[in-house]
A and B are shown apart, each in its own frame.
Chain A
Amino acid sequence: MAKYLMLKHYRGPKTSVEDAPMEEWTPEEVDDHIRYMRDFADRLRGTGEFVDEMALSPEGMWVRFDGEGRPPVVDGPFAETKDLVAGWMCIDVESHERAVELAGELSAAPGPGGRPIHEWLELRPLLDARLVADE
């Protein structure tokens, strides 16, 4: 089994087919979208492939070390970045093919008019932190 993160972006380097901001959808369309995501997670709980999911606030800032004894430098809250992660779902699956299949399904979440939004999801393998007994 291998773990993958499916990263959902508020804004990403790649534009989805249905790109209207969610605030401009009807409330029912928003509900349907959220229900689709929840049902998807429940289904993965049922197949024993679900690990975790988290949503991130769009608000954030950049922070870095600025030398001993000095407060960190902050940049932001940022108004505009090219890439803004909205959240992730972590899955544990039998194969890479299965991870791609599931990301494809999640990307079909409905948007305006109930049409799949064809959202680009970023799929990233997780590295295994466990040690292994081999040569």
Chain B
Amino acid sequence: MSVGPVDESALRTLVPQVIGVLVRRGADFASAEDAVQEALVAALSTWPQDPPRDPRAWLVTVAWRRHLDLVRSESARRAREERVEVEPEPGPAGARDDTLRLYFLCAHPSLTPASATALTLRAVGGLTTRQIAEAHLVPEATMAQRISRAKAAVAGVRLDTPGDLRTVLRVLYLVFTEGYGGDVDLAAEAIRLARQLAALTDEPEVHGLLALFLLVHARRAARTSAGGRLVPLPEQDRSRWDTGLAAEGVEILRAALARDRLGEYQAQAAVAALHADALRAEDTDWPQIVEWYDELVAITGSPVHRLNRAVAVGEADGGRAGLRALEGLDPGLPRYAAVSAHLHERAGDPAAAERLYREAAATATRVAERDHLTRQAARLHRLLEDLG
């Protein structure tokens, strides 16, 4: 008997498949998902000492038994209250379809973004409630409530209802940008979920999103200094970029773009790929980045994308041009003051830049971001003092 750590990633991949098996045997989604979660927790505690020969079969057996226990203990009460649930038709669907359908269900438009991300991480991602709670810095009981309410919200939705891939991609993007720093790495989890989804569909935007994740993730080691200080893109030590991940991202993006159905994630990945191409910051092809941002803004019209475009315009054509690109945007937009500060400094107005960096620091929502903006304000304050 071999004893060793559980391959958690492989185990998680099985979770949506096993939920699918239980649903096709007649369990409703909510109880199937509960039963599989319990089997998962049991697997994490017993497998290191006693690994099963067939992990998937083990999970199905334990989850199904757990489901039957739950049904029996509730059946007396339920029999009085409601008729027996109509069993869904046992379709020909295989594990691939089951998993894809779970992505749709967990990103159902009736769910709030927070509910959708939590449910996706549990039912598709195979994370435990405790892990999801830790990643979101809330108590486990709070996260358990959130998930159970999310499940109640989609209780009437049949698993075989066709879904919208765009909502799924939005949920994965939210998971990726939620943040990292704890034991559970949500960015890595978003990548795993995007990989799994990309294996199920050849929709170019799914592959664009995966490429974007990989290209941005490739820069992660360089994004903070040894002391935990945030390092902006132009100052990053590019030798610390993960060239393997970046190359994979570029390859996936190239194949997606070749399908000639551009979308917002492909366009953002194209920007990230151009950064990856530049060996030094000064080699960055800013005019081409501006072109990609033009495409992106044409697709989404999003103020956030217009803000990022203004930064690129500032690099390509100078601070004044960048500031002109900011015109018409709401100054209350997150990061507006920081972008405006950066562009004012580039345009040769350090006094305005200092004032804007202070303002940006006061409205920052993350500690690392606030510290970075405070340092920028302090640097300009010193510079202005030296100038007299």
Q: Which residues of A contact B (CB under 8 A)?
A: 1-3, 45-52, 92, 94, 125, 127-135
Contact = CB atoms under 8 A, between A and B. Distances in A.
B137 A3 contact: yes
A72 B142 CA distance: 40
B74 to A, nearest CB: 21
A2 B181 CA distance: 17
A135 B334 CA distance: 14
B381 interface: no
A1 B174 CA distance: 11
Contact of A48 (B137, B149, B176, B181): B149
A132 B177 contact: yes
A128 to B, nearest CB: 4
Contact of B145 (A1, A48, A130, A131): A48
B139 A130 contact: no
Given A47-B149, A92-B136, A94-B112, A127 B180 contact: no
A130 B220 CA distance: 13
Contacts of A127: 364-367, 370
A133 B216 contact: yes
A49 B112 CA distance: 13
A3 B311 CA distance: 29
B114 A131 contact: no
A92 B145 CA distance: 13
A103 to B, nearest CB: 18
A129 B220 CA distance: 16
Interface residues of B, number: 38
Nearest to A129: B367
Contacts of B136: 1, 92
B365 A131 contact: no
A108 to B, nearest CB: 23
Given A1-B136, A48-B145, A127-B370, A133 B112 contact: no
| The 5 nearest A-B residue pairs measured at CB | A130-B179, A48-B146, A48-B145, A130-B181, A128-B366
Nearest to B144: A48
Interface string B121-146: 00000000000000011110111011
B178 interface: yes
Contacts of B364: 127
B138 A134 contact: no
Contacts of A45: 141-142, 145
A45 B138 CA distance: 11
B145 A47 contact: yes
A129 B181 contact: yes
Contacts of B146: 48
A66 to B, nearest CB: 27
A133 B220 contact: yes
A49 B367 CA distance: 22
B233 interface: yes
28 contacts: A3-B137, A45-B141, A45-B145, A47-B149, A51-B137, A51-B138, A51-B139, A52-B139, A94-B114, A127-B366, A127-B370, A129-B137, A129-B367, A130-B137, A130-B180, A130-B181, A130-B182, A130-B366, A131-B224, A131-B366, A132-B177, A132-B366, A132-B369, A133-B176, A133-B177, A133-B180, A133-B216, A133-B217
Contact of A132 (B142, B179, B217): B179
Contacts of A48: 142-143, 145-147, 149
B368 interface: yes
B270 interface: no
Contacts of A135: 233, 308, 311
Given A1-B114, A2-B365, A50 B179 contact: no
Contacts of A1: 114, 136
Best-buried of A49, A129, A133, A134 by chain B (most CB within 10 Å): A133
Contacts of B178: 130, 132
A131 B179 CA distance: 5
B187 interface: yes
B223 interface: yes
Interface centre among B114, B142, B177, B364 (most CB of A within 10 A): B142
B32 to A, nearest CB: 21
A47 B153 CA distance: 13
B277 to A, nearest CB: 16
Given A45-B145, A92-B136, A132-B366, 16 more contacts: A3-B137, A92-B142, A94-B114, A127-B365, A128-B365, A128-B366, A129-B181, A130-B178, A130-B179, A130-B181, A131-B180, A131-B368, A132-B179, A133-B223, A134-B216, A135-B308
